[in-house]
Amino acid sequence: MDKMPKWADVVLIPLINFALAMLVSGLVILAIGKDPIVAIKTMIEGAFYTTNGIGYTLYYTTNFIFTGLAVSVAFHARMFNIGGEGQALLGGLGVALMSLWIDWPHWTVALFFATASAALFGAAWAFIPAWLQSKRGSHIVITTIMFNFIGFSVLNYVLVNQLRPKGSMDPATASFSPSAQLPTFNEMLAPLGIEFSKHSPANVTFLIALLAAFLVWVLIWHTKLGYQIRGLGHSDTAAKYAGISSHKIIMISMLISGGLAGMMAINNVMGEAERLVLNATEGAGFIGIAVALMGRSHPLGVVIAALLFGFLYQGGAELALWENIPRELVVVIQALVILFTGALDNMVRGPVERVFLRLRGGAS
């Protein structure tokens, strides 16, 4: 018998963990001499009160849905992919190669090819760590960390030595061709009579991210492959006796994971910057870890957690602007969420389980 009902596991415990993370963050704000209540108000107003704020919130959310899904899919096969950052960087290269020189007939065609290219580059960057894990037993966490750094150097080299326009000092590509520009929320919502801020970076990629979340849900819970992935994640010996090839499943789940991380680039590179800059991902690959942990690796949970982190990111920018609290406060919150939901999970789980056992004991 389970020690506690399912809702407690998927809703109550993440909420308690998150509340603890916010509590400690509030103490940090107090410690630096600011008012946590004012801070949270500023964040909410900045993230949700204007369409510009909402646009930024949803833009960040889109990034985090992709990277959160990437970490989740790997988690289901019990692979810890910390390489989302590097895979998303390389995905940006895939997008840039598709968007720089080709004159596309329509943005939908451009988006299709750019997405495929981003996924391909991201998956390629996950390929070697996955293969080494499966065939040579090299720990995937270490290899994906190393590949983040190698990816950064590769991108640095390509941008500085190859893709940088002549005469430019900035390690970045030229602006993309106009045919590869994606419609923003402003353009998409205008025909419906909704006025959305022109300056916000939210674009059509948000819908692609939601679609990706739905497809991951179908994959993990409604296909044979998803069953095999979860099977391997639960017990590799059981999977072996069931005739599931662990090599195949590790490779497939890591390639999907890398591909999803790479696809983030259609949002930040193609949708927002419209050129490839050096540090395009801004740590979104790592936030995917927090998002996946909080979302309990379920696509719906990932979308909700991504929205939460989108809010924290946009709210954090507002805090820096109005309250003079550095943006890095969001990194602290992110760290605490990872700590409480990921590493200190048993600290909350133990007492909550005891409460439920006692309640049940009292009832019977």
Partner 1 sequence: MDFLTIIQILDSTLRLATPLLLACLAGLFSERAGIFDIGLEGKMLAAAFVSAAVAAVTGSVWAGLMAGIGASVFLALLHGLASITFRGDQLISGVAINFLAAGLTVVIGQSWFRIGGRTPALSGDGRFLPVEWPFADALREVPIIGGIYSELISGHTILVYVALLAVPLSWYVLFRTRFGLRLRAVGENPAAVDTAGISVIRLRYSAVIIAGVLCGLAGAYLATGLAAGFVKDMTAGRGFIALAALIFAKWRPWHALYATLLFGLLEAIGNRYQSIEILGITLPGQFMQALPYILTVVILAGFVGKAIPPRAGGEPYVKER
Which of 67, 124, 121 shows the shortest CA–CA distance to 99?
121
Q: Which is nearer to partner 1, 219 or 331 (CB)?
A: 331
User: What are the tokens at 197?
Assistant: 């801020």
Task: Say whether residue 33 binds partner 1 (CB under 8 A).
Answer: yes
160 binds partner 1 (CB under 8 A): yes
Q: How far apart are CA 291 and CA 288, in angstroms?
A: 5
- List the structure tokens of 249: 């499943």
We find the least distance from the C-beta atom of residue 228 to partner 1, in angstroms, to be: 23
**Residue 103: Cβ-neighbour burial (10 angstroms; 0-12, 13-18, 19+):** exposed
3-state secondary structure of 183: coil
Please report, as residue ranges, which positions from 48 to 87 form the binding site for partner 1 (by CB under 8 A). 80, 82
Q: Does 137 sit near partner 1 (CB under 8 A)?
A: yes
Q: Tell me the closest approach of the beta carbon of residue 248 to partner 1, in angstroms.
A: 20
Q: Does 38 bind partner 1 (CB under 8 A)?
A: no
Considering only residues 256 to 295 of the shown chain, the ones binding partner 1 according to CB under 8 A are 286, 289, 293
* Residue 143 interacting with partner 1 (CB under 8 A): yes
CA–CA dist 156, 170 (Å, integer) = 11
Cα distances from 86 to residues 43, 65, 126, 279, in angstroms, run 29, 16, 9, 11
CB of 128 to partner 1, least distance (A): 7
102: contact with partner 1 by CB under 8 A: no
Q: Is 146 in the site for partner 1 (CB under 8 A)?
A: yes
| Beta strand segments in 108-227, E | none
Q: Which spans of this chain sit near partner 1 (rule: CB under 8 A)? A: 28, 31-33, 80, 82, 128, 132, 136-139, 141-143, 145-147, 149-150, 153-154, 156-157, 160-161, 286, 289, 293, 325-326, 328-336, 338-339, 342-347
